[in-house]
Structure formats: C-alpha cells, structure tokens
Structure 1
Amino acid sequence: MTSATVPQGLAHLLQQLPQTGRLEWIGIRPARGELMQRCAESTITVGGGLAGDRFKGRADSKRQVTLIQAEHLPVIASLLHRQTVGPELLRRNLVVSGLNLLALKGRQFRVGEVVLEMTGLCHPCSKMETTFGAGGYNAVRGHGGITAKVITGGQIRDGDSVQVLEEPN
C-alpha cells in the first residue's frame, strides 16, 4: 500500500455511515436561566431553531440546534460518580441514539422532516460546574455533542429516525 492510497481509503471510510439513529428526547429552554423542558414533538424553523426555545434565531448562526448522543449520558454519569444524568441537565435540544454524531462532520442529516447540517462541536460551559459541582465541566468534555444549523424546517417527534443524507453527485 502506498501513502497515496491511504488518504483515499480514509476518505472512503469517513463517508461510510449506513447506521440510522433514533431521536430519543427533545428539549427546549423557554428563557435564559430556566430549566430545559421535555417535548414529545417540536417544529424547527430555518434560522429560528426549535419553537419555544430561547434561541431567537439568526440565519447565519451555527448553533441553531444542539445535539448529544444518548450513549454519552452514562459515560458522563460515570465520570461524575452518579447513577444517571438526565439530558435536561446538559442543556442540549436533541438526544440521539444509535449514530455517532461526530461522523456527521460537515454533513447534512435528516431528523423527522427536518434537515440539519453539523457545524461544530458543542463544548461544555461553566454552567456544568454549577449543575454538577466541581469537575462537572471536565466530565462533559469530549461528550458535549454537536451544533447544527437548520437547512430545511419541519416537524420532529420522539422516535423519529436520524439519517445522514447522501452526498450530492
């Protein structure tokens, strides 16, 4: 194998994402400083994020929707020496299972009727120390999820599938 074939092989591997995820939890925060509220469904608009969420929306914002992997919740709980950590404590809008969110880098994906595009990592903030106590920030580091912008708005519901969209030809 030559070094010229490795990046091409790696590029191919990075594009392989046949798994379908599942939307496990939807949350909104109605106002600054308020707790997240669970919703069974929500409407998401381009530039506006989730209906009822405190995010007021800008068309150019890279943080219109935040997502976290359900599989990371027990990891965070373990690092905090807790039995469980509820998604509402992590202040993310959507909890997804069955799909590695980091594999969505630079890609568009569908959640229910909505098309999102990953825009970056969702790093923890200092509020994790307030929520979880000393070490809360570091427990969430590397497990904070991703940010996304809305490409196509629509409805989402608990249980909706989450699928990467094929690259345009």
Structure 2
Amino acid sequence: MAALDGKKILVIATNYGVEQDEIVVPVDQLRERGATVTVAAQETGSIQTLVGDKDPGKTVDPDTTIAGVNAGSFDALVVPGGTINADTLRTDQQAVSLVSAFVEAGAPVAAICHGPWTLIEAGVVSGKTITSFPSLQSDLRNAGAEWVDREVQVDGGLITSRNPDDLPAFVDAIESALTA
C-alpha cells in the first residue's frame, strides 16, 4: 500500500505559463505515492508549460476545468508557479475561491515559487510564515506574512517552497501533511 492511497489532490493551473517541473514533478510523484491527482486548468485545452518562464516545455492535458471542481471532493490543493501562470491565476476568482475553500476546510494548500500570489489574493497568508520565489517577499510581507528563505515552509495547512530545486522537500511536505 502506498503512502497516499485514497488521497485526492487537486492541482490548478492556467493553460499557458506554468513552470514545467512545478506541475509535472508533483503530479507524477504524488501519483507514484498512491494519490489520485486531478489537474484542473482554466480551459479544457492542453496546458503549455514553460521552462524558466520563457522556453516551451511539455504540454499537460488537464482532467477538468477549475470551474468544474468542488474543493470538498479533494484532500489537498497544489498551486504551481511560473510567473505568467501565477499572475494570471491570482486574477481568476474561481481559483482564488478554491484556495479559500481549502483553507476554510482545514485542508493542506501547497504553493511553490510564484504560486503564493494566489494565497495572497485569497487573503490567507496574514500571520503565517511563508517562503516563495524571492521576488514575492515584499508582496507577502505587505499581506501580513513573515517571509523566510527555506526550501520548504509549513505553517498550519500552508506548504510553500521557493523554486524547482525545492521540489523533493515540497512533495515530501505534501505527503506528510496528508499522512499526519
């Protein structure tokens, strides 16, 4: 039996601009650990990932749309980064509402790199200790969070990491949150 058997994880992204490894690695590794992972995008078409915010990466086929999911059907939420993805996602009211619903339900919300922008928009970082891509420091502090430079930071149900180099610790922290 795998560690995450029976756990359902939602990953949300835009259809263009998500950092390749920040969606592909968690999806693959969480599935390998037994989780059922659903990828939801803004639209039904393929997700075009980017490498380093500029070079085209792999395409990912979403399972559904952000509008087509219910937070109550999942045990955790993952918000990958990529500057374009995160900047667009934080303006998507349905994505922001999902973050709020997971936090209100006490379910883990994991965001990496620029992903915490969506957490800021959802109003869930005040009083929390958060890490992210370094350029988000001021945004997080202005939203009432304490920013730290760590590969992974867990504060309550919020799990955050800085960049693709932190993915091993990020995925381990998601597993720990779901098996605690």
Verify same fold: TM over 0.5.
no
**What TM-score do the two structures reach when normalised by structure 2?**
0.25
**What TM-score do the two structures reach when normalised by structure 1?**
0.27
Higher strand fraction (1 or 2): 1
Which structure is higher in RCO with an 8 Å CA cutoff and minimum separation 6?
A: 1
Tell me which structure has the larger Cα radius of gyration: 1
